Amino acid sequence: MNSFYNIAVESREIVVRFSKDLIDRETVIKFLDYLELESIRRRSRMTQGEADSLADEIDRSGWQNLKLGFLQP
């Protein structure tokens, strides 16, 4: 057993325990966000090309909205 953390499988959950002195809360939140995104990615049937196209579309839309916000009086 590692002294820095403890991992237990309880029913359908994985429980990880470690000292709050080991890592700050913000880093834990970023890691959990990463796990959530990775879970979504693994379940997705989207191809890399489709994902790239969607990302480009989101970028264009975002920039268009920003541009409109700056140009409006």
Rg (CA), the chain: 20
Residue 1 has pLDDT above 60, yes or no: no
CA distance 50 to 37: 17
70: confidence class by pLDDT, cuts 50, 70, 90: confident
State the pTM of this model. Answer: 0.56
What pLDDT does 73 receive? 62
Determine which helix (DSSP H) or strand (DSSP E) holds 45, and give its type and residue range.
Answer: none
Check if the beta carbon of residue 15 is closer than 8 Å to that of residue 8: yes
What pLDDT does 64 receive? 80
Domain limits, the chain: 5-71
